[in-house]
A and B are shown apart, each in its own frame.
Chain A
Amino acid sequence: MPTKRTVLFMLLALLIVMALTACGGGAAPAEPAASSGDTAPATEEQPAATAVEPVTITVWDYYGESSPIVPIVAAFESANPDVKVEVQSLDWDTMLEKMNVVLTGGEVPDVVTLDMTWLPTYAPLGAFADLSPMANGKLNGVPLDEAYAAGALEAMRYDDQILAMLYDFDVYALYYRADLLDEMGLDVPTTWAELSDVAGQLAANGKGQYAFMADTFHAAQFLYENGASILNEDNTAAAFNSPEAVEAIAFYAGMVQDGSAYYWSTDEGWEVTPGLKDGRIAMFSDGAYYMGIMKDAAPEMAGQWRVAPHPAGAAGPGSYMGGTGLAIPAKSDNQEAAWRFIEYAMTLENQTGVFENAGAAPALLAALESDAVNAADPYFGDQQTLSVFLQAMETATPFPYVRQWNDIDAAFTVAMEQVALGEPVQDSLDAAAVEVDALLSK
């Protein structure tokens, strides 16, 4: 019975193979990280003879198609023959999800692009390595407090640790259709009253509306502009239902109710780009990175848009302050090589690449002063766009660093969705505040 024998043999063979693979599947132990107390900046050349088996570092990158990370890999590898870099490109949402999963699981990447708003969740858990011993106060030889603005340094710190090197920064400014404002003879709004007036006139003439978005990033801008905040000073209770906060949100939501703003709900996508392209949106607020997105997705609109500081409220200008940090998971086995990659990404030349490739604002002061970054941008009618965002950074505020941030964010967003649909502002915010207070009381 040859067939029977074959089948049976296959069964046994399979069992054996399964058993073998199950036992022997573990990866070979990784190279122990070379101990280096004082890391020198990446040297230009290393003799090939000393090059041992190169370590491979995995880099997670959420920039997508306009990545500033991918273009620097080849140059880094030729400067560091003992390191191979594997970039895995993920979108923002997927990355957040996967990051949490790998942090619990152990198969961590060596370098990650980290949204600074994620740090509050991770910092207390010790998920990321403290970079201060590796940096030793310097980045590519420049003292950290000269390399970064004070606000940026503050955002990078948690307790006495530095958990990420700020790579780009994110503050919100006003994007507006200059061609339509010209056509209507309107000036760029600089105050809330003007914002409401200009948006109203645009909308009344079918020229598109101001975008209302019910997320914390956008709503927080109005809070800050009106002297309100999300949490109280010592982060122990909600503050987004204070009188100033209610006034701010009432103004913002009021623009939806009177038709001058368009409620862009997330089911139409996280980004307003389709609304820009079909003319529904003529003004919106967003970060510098959005310039890159617009150039990619709406090249035909070149010349129509400009950026300006977002209209000031009673307390002046305001914005959330965030950005992207480069961080090393605490469980990474290749921290030394990872740090070398981070330093390489933070050189002046590669920092300007953040602006050139991703359209985002680089975080290094030197890069912000460089000519490449401050060049006139033809897409925005030869405007020096970045200076607008730089100006906004001066008055921007980071989100509070608390472990419960994700839940607070969710509760506040739900309240914003409710007011967008016309529910009373005070009631909605009060209800969310009760939830947030309960979260913070633990």
Chain B
Amino acid sequence: MSSLSVPAFIRGIRKHGLAYLFIAVPVLAAIIFLLIPMVTSFWWSFNEYNGIQPPRFVGLDNYVKLITGDKIFRHALKNTTFFVFFGMLIGPTLGLLTALLLNQKVRFQALFRTAYFLPVMTSLVVVATIWRMLYNRNGLLNIGLAALGLKPIGWLSDPQWAMMSIVIASVWQGFGFEMVIFLAALQNIPKELYDAAAIDGADGRRKFWYITLPALRPVLFFVYVIGIIESYQVFDQVFVMTSGGPVYSTTTLVYYLYSRFIDLRLGYASAIAYVLFIILIIFSLIQWRFFMEKD
């Protein structure tokens, strides 16, 4: 090794060689940890497989059963969509509102920003633990309701509420992230645009609709696409807070596929995974197109 001059070695190989060298490790890692597992579980999805005995090929059976005859899967699809819809409705909206408020030269801006952002820094296990205590039947939230003369809510034990409770805890944890992104984007909008609009006699609302929102368009797009893809994979909160219950009311797609894995139904779980994959790929393609456009 010492006899070989490294720069000379580098000079010796062609330009392409260098590029391949740069990507070698990540590509190798991706082959081992992404590609091979992906192909493996795709193959499993056409098999009945318990991980111990050899797989038995069953064609499309898993998919057919999943789509036509599985009640829990329909719950999971519904619950996940509920989570994505309300999470994406509330989270970015709150993020944008707080960003707009903070963007108006308020004092102690940094302090407020910290307060909204701090939950982003904590792990979902921590968040889920704290909220499990708040959601307790005798917890702070129900004490608060009682003080207002309202009946207590079974936050995590009532199927009507459980998914919403998970949404609330998740929004609390996550919207600070959306807020700082919006805030940064707002601060990037040239002030001259607003000045010009003011001269034209535009009021606050018009400025928002005609300047702020269009300027935020790319960022909004980023936040929603990333948010939707991430939300469709909701798992940790469910795992720690409800284990999918009560009455399947918080069983999400990933939780369901995980529980199938854990019950040694690897073929079926893989089929669920690939249904989720198709959902995600639709959103990802939208994102892909967007980035390609930008390039």
Contact = CB atoms under 8 A, between A and B. Distances in A.
Interface of A: 1, 4-5, 8-9, 11-12, 14-15, 18, 96-97, 100-101, 103-105, 121, 125-127, 214, 263, 265-268, 278, 406-407, 413-414, 417-418, 421, 435, 438
B262 A266 contact: no
B284 interface: no
A125 B6 contact: no
B52 A125 contact: yes
B158 interface: yes
Interface in B156-195: 156-159, 162
Interface residues of B, number: 37
Interface of B: 6-7, 10, 21, 24-25, 28, 50-53, 69, 71, 132, 135-138, 154-159, 162, 241-243, 245-248, 261-264, 266
Contacts of A438: 69
A121 B53 CA distance: 13
Nearest to B266: A104
Contact of B136 (A1, A127, A268, A406): A268
Given A14-B25, A266-B246, A267-B155, 14 more contacts: A8-B10, A9-B6, A11-B21, A15-B25, A103-B52, A105-B51, A267-B135, A267-B241, A268-B157, A278-B138, A406-B263, A407-B263, A414-B248, A438-B69
Contacts of A100: 51, 261-264
Contacts of A125: 50, 52-53, 264
Given A126-B52, A265-B246, A121 B135 contact: no
A121 B263 contact: yes
B241 A417 contact: no
B132 A15 contact: no
A413 to B, nearest CB: 8
A9 B82 CA distance: 52
Given A8-B10, A268-B137, A435-B71, A121 B25 contact: no
A418 B50 CA distance: 31
7 contacts: A104-B266, A263-B157, A414-B247, A414-B248, A417-B247, A421-B158, A421-B246
* Interface hub of A5, A414, A435 (most chain B Cβ within 10 A): A414
Contacts of A406: 263
Contact of A18 (B25, B132, B155): B25
A436 to B, nearest CB: 12
A265 B52 contact: no
A438 B70 CA distance: 11
B264 A103 contact: yes
B193 to A, nearest CB: 44
Nearest to B156: A267
Contacts of B51: 100, 103-105
Nearest to A428: B247
A440 to B, nearest CB: 15
A5 B158 CA distance: 64
B36 to A, nearest CB: 13
A421 B261 CA distance: 30
B52 A266 contact: no
